[in-house]
Amino acid sequence: MCGEIQLGHLSARKPLQKTTATVKTKRKLPHFTCDSAPTSSQSRWQLLQHVPLAVISHRPIHPYKVVAMAERTPASTSHSRNKHTNRLAAEHSPYLLQHAHNPVDWFAWGEEAFAEARKRDVPIFLSKSFEDEGVAKLLNDWFVSIKVDREERPDVDKVYMTYVQALYGGGGWPLSVFLSPDLKPLMGGTYFPPEDKYGRPGFKTILRKVKDAWDKKRDMLAQSGAFAIEQLSEALSASASSNKLPDELPQNALRLCAEQLSKSYDSRFGGFGSAPKFPRPVEIQMMLYHSKKLEDTGKSGEASEGQKMVLFTLQCMAKGGIHDHVGGGFHRYSVDERWHVPHFEKMLYDQGQLANVYLDAFSLTKDVFYSYICRDILDYLRRDMIGPGGEIFSAEDADSAETEGATRKKEGAFYVWTSKEVEDILGEHAILFKEHYYLKPTGNCDLSRMSDPHNEFKGKNVLIELNDSSASASKLGMPLEKYLNILGECRRKLFDVRSKRPRPHLDDKVIVSWNGLVISSFARASKILKSEAESAIFNFPVVGSDRKEYTEVAESAASFIRRHLYDEQTHRLQHSFRNGPSKAPGFLDDYAFLISGLLDLYEFGSGTKWLVWAIELQNTQDELFLDREGGGYFNTTGEDPSVLLRVKEDHDGAEPSGNSVSVINLVRLASIVAGSKSDYYRQNAEHSLAVFETRLKDMAMAVPLMCCAADMLSVPSRKHVVLVGHKSSVDFENMLAAAHASYDLNKTVIHIDPADTEEMDFWEEHNSNNASMARNNFSADKVVALVCQNFSCSPPVTDPISLENLLLEKPSSTA
């Protein structure tokens, strides 16, 4: 069928499809188009005999959801585990180790595999998993099979996923690509069924056709692969046509992005777009930022509308099954429109970003509901995801065994409950709890036809809050506080029982970029949560941590990266760690996300050593990734010859793009330092954004964080808060919390202790104005705050309330 199999070649007709990175090309990368129907009983895939250049088996997915739908293949549970051992057994990656006992003779990505393909003169297969002995024999006899952990080597995954997306206009995982021994792509696709069915070729058939094409039409294949890489390389390394964006574009792009997202808003269940629903935090960040801009310019009605969309979305997510009510944190995405039944995997990058957007919502509303959810996420990470050295692990799988010793794993087994289990555990409070979380004897995955179409969760319940707690407490004639306490104690009991179940596999790999996201959220929470009412009561799984402990987590994670994944001589990062640093170097995202986290560490109260390191890392990032002539940052260094493409990524998806985060980092750094270095940062930010001018004009919704970055850069004068005093005092903590109490991303917070020689030396070198301000306003027994903007500063204030009020004043017209 047309929608299932598509065959392509690179010699005529259709232009290159835009991938998730900026594409600019004058030439065309065509492929076979799908006619209305075959003219004979010959199936479409049989064209492979004649034009064997790109096979794509694809389940239609919305193009912007492809990037976020990063499902990792579950661990192997076959009985063949004891019969086979391949080279992956020597790897460190948990994902690769899961496939170490497949019958396929897997290689890891590297020269050993490439040399084997050259020696045997056979194609390379990358990298879907098979445990079928017959498929394994064909792969072992005719191909060199390589398995890649795309979290450990996102650069490799990006090359071949981009190839598939360019040919088809979409992609997904599992990714299956055939390569020449010199790594040029020959054919690609996503899911291939094991056997021929409904006119679709099974994988064995595909393997035979690929081998036949390699034997008989190798030159055509090789030329096609080389041409594809040439075209993609040209398309994905776009250069700016000017040194900065047109003056009106930042505001227009921000408005356009908000308008586009608003049109996709689900007013009934929250979120932007339809099922499956992903918690794409960059969308929420953009909508909140845009609402604040509207509020500041007197458009309070429009601001309120945007803010309502965001807050309702955050509420629906927190009450839905995508949120782990018993253990804290969020699952990857919801399969239905109600945020109810999730794909149960938990990813670190989601936790870090979601904690930050719930913090932002709390900053705007001072509603403890949002600070509670932020704490819920951070306390989950502290409980389950932090290693002995302060490192923060990557993920927990979706699947686990239902009982100890079971060989088969099931999606969500660790998280779902039967009604009887809950009754037995909770006793007298079972009825209250079941009513609150919509638990039923027959199972509760019936709220949407999309929740459980194959009855996988028959008789099982995924906790979801459908009722308002105040109304439920009132209905029972019970004080709200008592009602919430009962729910908390019930969750604790369920947590204790759940802890005895077989756990999902923990991916204890440490990824620098994801740690950077979480360093940011812990650092920010340490001060923003000071605005919580003293009477606030938290119930399990929130433990009500002292906010200082959050600072310690952030500093420990940053220190681990510096000790284990940073070379003090070369000033370079490695990408990840597990039983030692990985072979992969740091990528753009590692530098950009870590720099962002370090800037937050400093601004939210930690020492200037983190600021020094951030500046050092920015210098290295510019040296390794910056296109000084064309503008923007490449995703890789270009030093690894096995990685055939350097991409300037712009898509803000499940994770923000490295370019979006980098521009914001440059804006922040330019406001911290002075003189030529500040100018240098701003010029790089302007030139980088200019690369993505077309994207910002035409598809702003694909780059929401970049829209924010462009607007931040266009602000004529950032607000500066300068705190001067002894940092060991309680007054300093209170003033720093006041400086961060209000939501404003166009604000820089500087804190200086004039008695600290090392600090003063830093400021003398990087911004002597700040050093002078500190000397001139120092008081031995007070912490002094100044708010500066448009080349002038407010009179000094010395109490938190005055500082908060000063920061709440509307910007002046010149700003």
pLDDT in tens, 86-96: 999 999 999 89
pLDDT in tens, 743-789: 999 999 999 999 999 999 999 999 999 999 999 999 999 999 999 99
CA distance 210 to 216: 10
% of the chain with per-residue pLDDT over 90: 79
Instruction: Provide the token pair at 427.
Output: 């006793």
pLDDT in tens, 219-234: 998 898 889 888 888 8
Residue 78 has pLDDT above 50, yes or no: no
CB distance 412 to 344 below 8 Å: yes
CB distance 746 to 718 below 8 Å: yes
Mean pLDDT value across residues 468-487: 97
Type of residue numbered 30: P
User: What was the pLDDT predicted at 813?
Assistant: 44
Tell me phi and psi for residue 687, to 5 degrees: -65, -40
Rg for the chain (alpha carbons), in Å? 27
User: What was the pLDDT predicted at 23?
Assistant: 38
User: What was the pLDDT predicted at 472?
Assistant: 97
Type of residue numbered 150: R
% of the chain with per-residue pLDDT over 70: 89
Mean pLDDT value across residues 362-390: 97
SS3 282: helix
User: What was the pLDDT predicted at 236?
Assistant: 78
User: What was the pLDDT predicted at 658?
Assistant: 98
Q: How confident is the model at residue 41 (pLDDT cuts 50, 70, 90)?
A: very low
> Does residue 127 have a cis bond before it (omega within 30 degrees)?
yes
Instruction: Provide the token pair at 185.
Output: 């792509």
Q: Where do we find the tokens 């998730």? A: 20
DSSP 639-659: --TT------B---SSS--HH
User: What was the pLDDT predicted at 202?
Assistant: 87
User: What was the pLDDT predicted at 11?
Assistant: 29
**What is the number of H-type helices and E-type strands within the chain?**
28, 22
CA distance 45 to 32: 12
pLDDT in tens, 412-431: 999 999 999 999 999 999 99
Give the residue, 223 or 309, on which the prediction is more confident.
309
User: What was the pLDDT predicted at 577?
Assistant: 97
Residue 37 has pLDDT above 60, yes or no: no
* Start-to-end Cα distance in the chain: 58
Beta-strand pair 144-147/124-126: parallel
Burial grade of 174 (CB within 10 A; 0-12, 13-18, 19 or more): middle
Q: What is the DSSP letter of 809?
A: S
Mean pLDDT over the full length of the chain = 89
User: What was the pLDDT predicted at 171?
Assistant: 67
Residue 691 has pLDDT above 70, yes or no: yes
User: What was the pLDDT predicted at 550?
Assistant: 97
Q: How confident is the model at residue 812 (pLDDT cuts 50, 70, 90)?
A: low
CA distance 166 to 590: 26
CA distance 735 to 798: 8
What separation in angstroms does the CA of 521 have from each of 557, 596, 597? 12, 11, 8
Task: Measure CA 155 to chain center.
Answer: 16
Q: How confident is the model at residue 82 (pLDDT cuts 50, 70, 90)?
A: low
Q: Where do we find the tokens 């027959």? A: 442
Residue 69 has pLDDT above 60, yes or no: no
Give the residue, 643 or 82, on which the prediction is more confident.
643
pLDDT in tens, 434-459: 999 999 999 999 999 999 999 999 99
CB distance 742 to 295 below 8 Å: no
Burial grade of 238 (CB within 10 A; 0-12, 13-18, 19 or more): buried
Residue 59 has pLDDT above 50, yes or no: no
User: What was the pLDDT predicted at 799?
Assistant: 96
CA distance 174 to 161: 10
Residue 80 has pLDDT above 60, yes or no: no
Q: Which of 163, 174, 90 is nearest to 583 (CA)?
A: 90
* The model's pTM: 0.90
Residue 51 has pLDDT above 50, yes or no: no
CB distance 606 to 527 below 8 Å: no
pLDDT in tens, 496-522: 999 999 999 999 999 999 999 999 999
Task: Indicate the Cα dihedral angle 481, 482, 488, 494, nearest 10°.
Answer: -160
Residue 71 has pLDDT above 50, yes or no: no
Q: Please, what's the largest Cα pairwise distance for the chain?
A: 90
What separation in angstroms does the CA of 302 have from each of 206, 262, 306, 711, 714? 55, 11, 7, 18, 21
pLDDT in tens, 136-179: 999 999 999 999 999 999 999 999 998 888 877 766 777 889 99
> Does residue 276 have a cis bond before it (omega within 30 degrees)?
yes
User: What was the pLDDT predicted at 242?
Assistant: 93
pLDDT in tens, 616-650: 999 999 999 999 999 999 999 999 999 999 999 99
CA distance 647 to 635: 6
3-state helix, strand, coil in the chain (%, to 5): 45, 10, 40
Host H or E run for residue 113: helix 111-120
User: What was the pLDDT predicted at 20?
Assistant: 44
SS3 39: coil
CA distance 270 to 267: 6
User: What was the pLDDT predicted at 307?
Assistant: 97
Q: How confident is the model at residue 194 (pLDDT cuts 50, 70, 90)?
A: confident
CB distance 88 to 95 below 8 Å: no
pLDDT in tens, 548-582: 999 999 999 999 999 999 999 999 999 999 999 99
Residue 364 has pLDDT above 90, yes or no: yes
C-alpha triplet 335, 337, 340: angle, nearest 5°: 65
CA distance 796 to 723: 10
Instruction: Provide the token pair at 387.
Output: 């290693």
User: What was the pLDDT predicted at 474?
Assistant: 97
Residue 295 has pLDDT above 90, yes or no: yes
